[in-house]
Amino acid sequence: MPCLSRDDFLARLLAAERPGAESILAFYDSTADALCRDGRCCFIPLIDHLCHRGDALFESISVRGGIVYALDGHMDRLRRGAESFMRLAPPCSWEDLRRLVLEVAEAAGEPDFSLRVFVGRGAGGFGVSPAECPKSSLYIVAVREKPEDALIFERGATAFASRVPPKQAYLATVKSTSYLPNVLMAREAAERGMDVAVTFHEDGTMGEAAVASIGIVSAQGELVCPPTDRILAGTSMLCAMEAAKARMPVRQASVTRQDIACAREMLLFASSKLCVGIVRFEDTVFGDGRPGPVARWLRQAMREAMIRTGVRVGDAGAAGR
């Protein structure tokens, strides 16, 4: 193999095919402390413990119609994770991090996309100790998403109990990049030809999906979502619970398989889709096999709440609010 100079190596690296690079609209890299709009330049050094140890936190934030959904909720959750057992501070102030997120959103130049925010342990070496890494890293990426499959809102989703064990509570409640169980759940769903794998705890109560939260409309007409002591506090789930209060009772409580079997509806909450009706969970079919009325009106109520509380990209003063 050739042994290249730095310049020749970088030239070959940039010329190589990079699947996914074409979807990157803009990104920020704290190593260079700069924005870039060329997705081929979006790299993370392998010696960043984000890569080879999963020692990092991240957030996925939806931007729709030029409005950043639930920005402060995502930033609050990221900060809680950083101040938890992770002990991981970003390489800048939290105020500057929020400002940088909005700058990347503005640089994206499109109304609809997704933001990924990564706070990593930083570069240092291939050991396991965080002490190797003198400075944390920050990557903010604006990504063009595939067109939404609108049919899922009409046909609904199918779900099943995953064979993948749920994460331990201390890991499940922070959004770290240690996502192997989530990857296995997504693969499991694809292999079964279904949409959603759902975890269940050792006591038989429901957990969460690979990249979404799950709730039910109980036989009594309540919106019931699992407590957040053993699952991630999903920003979409919290939005759904708040929006639903205007029309129905809402509570957080453990959900059993029997509760699911008796439920009027089962719902999936995710940043990109807001609310999707699950029409079948294993052998249980809900209603007439189509998304129910709560799934339909709650999605619209969530969208209105996200627009009302969101931050418009480019608004004067938004970055400092």
* Mean pLDDT over each residue of the chain, to the nearest integer: 95
Q: Is the CB of residue 68 less than 8 Å from the CB of residue 310?
A: yes
Considering 116, 143, 170, which residue would you say is the last residue of a domain? 143
Same domain membership, residue 302 and residue 155: yes
Assess if residue 185 is contained within a domain.
Answer: yes
Residue partners of 249: CB distance under 8 A and separation at least 6: 220, 221, 222, 223
Helix extents (H) in 39-197? 49-52, 71-82, 94-108, 151-155, 169-172, 180-192
Q: How confident is the model at residue 316, as a pLDDT?
A: 45
Mean predicted confidence (pLDDT) in 14-36: 96
13 contacts 46 by C-beta, under 8 angstroms = no
Domain boundary among 118, 143, 168: 143
321 is a domain residue: no
129 lies in the same domain as 163: no
User: What is the SS3 string spanning 39-70?
Assistant: HHHCCCCCCEHHHHCCCEEEEEEEEECCEECC
Same domain, 118 and 166: no
Per-residue b or e along 42-74, where b marks 16 or more CB atoms closer than 10 Å to that residue's CB: bebeeebbbbebebbbbbbbbbbebbbbbbebb
pLDDT in tens, 183-223: 999 999 999 999 999 999 999 999 999 999 999 999 999 99
pLDDT at 321 over 50: no
Contact 97, 138 (CB under 8 A): yes
| Model confidence pLDDT, tens digit, residues 226-246 | 999 999 999 999 999 999 999
Nearest to 310 by CA among 254, 281, 271: 271
159 in the same domain as 96: no
The reply to whether 320 falls in a domain is no
Same domain, 204 and 242: yes
Same domain, 76 and 101: yes
Same domain, yes or no: 127 and 213: no
**Is the pLDDT assigned to residue 292 strictly greater than 80?**
yes
Instruction: Report the CATH number that the domain containing residue 244 is assigned in CATH.
Output: 3.20.10.10
Query: What is the pTM (predicted TM-score) of this model?
Result: 0.94
pLDDT at residue 214 in the model: 98
DSSP, res 210: S
Domain containing 257: what range?
151-307
Do residues 139 and 167 both lie within one domain? no
Residue 116 lies in a domain: yes
- Residue 318 is assigned to a structural domain of this protein: no
Phi first, then psi: give them for residue 291, nearest 5 degrees.
Answer: -55, 135
Structural domain count, the chain: 2
Residue 314, in any domain of the structure: no
Residues 242 and 300 in one domain: yes
Q: Are residues 245 and 111 in the same domain?
A: no
CATH of the domain at 129: 3.30.470.10
Q: Does residue 86 sit in the same domain as residue 166? A: no
Looking at the fold, whether 214 and 255 belong to one and the same domain comes out as yes
pLDDT at residue 166 above 70?
yes
Q: Of the residues 143, 162, 185, which one is the last residue of a structural domain? A: 143
Whether 313 is in a domain gets the answer no
What pLDDT was estimated at residue 59?
98
Question: Is residue 273 situated within a structural domain?
Answer: yes
